[in-house]
Structure 1
Amino acid sequence: MKYDEIIEGVGGCGSYQKFILTLLYAVPVFDGLQIGSLVFIVPEIAHRCAIPGLPNDTYEVQDTDHADLIKAYIPQYIEDGERKYNNCYFYSNETLDDNGTIHACNSWVYDKSQYQTSVTSDMNLVCGRSIFTSHVKTAFFVGAFIMFLIGGWISDK
């Protein structure tokens, strides 16, 4: 007996079978979209140290005075021939010619041009705390694994 003969024997493939197959094929698409959401939940966001004593500091340069404060408080380095600001350290006092005490940041400002808020910016998962982004992703997948086990057991019952 061949497959085609069996299908003809049970009455063919009707609308109910097509509906069930559509549901079976649609579920993995939504599962893939859910897993892909981690890109938006825990993104890598451009950031720098917040300037000490400046309560309304933003990542974007507001004016020339703000640009001068950034130059004075944020260490710079050269990468690929381009001058960049350090993301994780700041000078504790205004400096002249890079002669200041460098300290690790305890507050940051984030580039909000792409994401207004995310787990990364809400929990400050940058610099020394960036390892926690992988912990967030691990917790997400452990939860998904547990739900797959429970969901499989429930569907079998």
Structure 2
Amino acid sequence: MMHYDDILKNIIGELGTHQKICFFLLGISTVPVMLIIMSPVFLFPPVDTWCKYPDSNELRQHMCINNSTGNCDELVKNLMIPKEKKVAGCETQLKNEQCHRYNISFDYVSYYPEANIYSYINQTGKIECDHGWEYDRSQYKSTVTGQFDLVCDRFYLNALASSIFMLGFLVGSLVSGYVLDRFGRMKGFMLTNGGVIIFGIIEAFSPNYVVFVVVRFFLAMCTIGRYISSFVLGE
């Protein structure tokens, strides 16, 4: 009795050089797919965030003159930004609050001694960030969170962007089957491959959050379409 593998061997032959080259090239083409799927790790990393405070340059100059410490930025930040306890692994650490700063101005800092400053802070309390946010750029120079200020009451937009991206995967999985059957595997592969390149470039220059998530949706559609087409071609 002839087995199915023997029938295929008689019809298409052994795995030859042509098949190996095609398989290798198709395998390489799926690498960007994995990079795009893993991109949220670098697009939305957790970074230390704190409120911008008014007269920041004047505060730095004043604190540098009147204090011997060399780290003026850290000194001013500790003065203007309250701390909160956060759990990090098995220990609790003091982190900068993201959504509040002390209600204190440069005028008061420049004319009153340090002891009175802290007494004034305890009396006036905290206010919400009214001048935007600063981001720790020691590890990540630029993130989506920092570019579009997705913090505090906009923090949920980080997860929403990832959800819309996965929705694009779902829609792309449904649509790509029809596209591949309608236009052919190779044409579908080239079409989705071009879509990944185009939407990937547009994503990098997104001017606002809405454009970013819309482009990510279509990027996800093309990404899963390219993966499915390359998988079918590899068979």
Q: TM-score higher than 0.5 here?
A: yes
1:104 is aligned, of 109, 124, 128, to 128
After the TM superposition, which residues 10-25 of structure 1 pair with which residues of structure 2 at under 5 Å, given as runs?
10=11, 11-25=13-27
The equivalent of 1:36 in structure 2 is 38
Q: Offset of 1:85 from its aligned partner? A: 2.8
Structure-2 change in CA distance of 1:57 and 1:128 (3 Å): farther
The equivalent of 2:148 in structure 1 is 123
Structure-2 change in CA distance of 1:12 and 1:70 (3 Å): closer
Which consecutive unaligned segments of at least 5 residues does structure 2 have? 65-69, 106-116, 183-235
Counterparts of 2:55 and 2:49 in 1: how far apart (Å)? 18
Q: Offset of 1:117 from its aligned partner? A: 1.6
Q: Offset of 1:57 from its aligned partner? A: 9.0
TM-score of the superposed pair, with normalisation by structure 2: 0.55
Q: Tell me if 1:5 matches 2:27.
A: no
After the TM superposition, which residues 1-157 of structure 1 pair with which residues of structure 2 at under 5 Å, given as runs?
1-10=2-11, 11-54=13-56, 63-78=70-85, 80=91, 82-93=93-104, 95-97=117-119, 98-99=121-122, 100-106=124-130, 107-157=132-182
Deviations 1:39-77 (A, max 9, x none): 11222221111122326999xxx9555444323221134
Which consecutive unaligned segments of at least 5 residues does structure 1 have? none
| Contact 1:50/1:57, CA 8 A, preserved across alignment | no
Tell me the percent identity.
28
Q: Offset of 1:90 from its aligned partner? A: 0.7
Q: Offset of 1:142 from its aligned partner? A: 1.9
TM-score of the superposed pair, with normalisation by structure 1: 0.77
Counterparts of 1:145 and 1:56 in 2: how far apart (Å)? 52
Counterparts of 1:148 and 1:27 in 2: how far apart (Å)? 18
Counterparts of 1:146 and 1:39 in 2: how far apart (Å)? 23
Q: Counterpart of 2:157 in 1: which secondary structure?
A: helix
Structure-2 change in CA distance of 1:84 and 1:5 (3 Å): closer
Counterparts of 2:167 and 2:74 in 1: how far apart (Å)? 44
CA RMSD of aligned residues (A): 3.0
Which structure dedicates a bigger proportion of its chain to helix? 2
Structure-2 change in CA distance of 1:5 and 1:76 (3 Å): closer
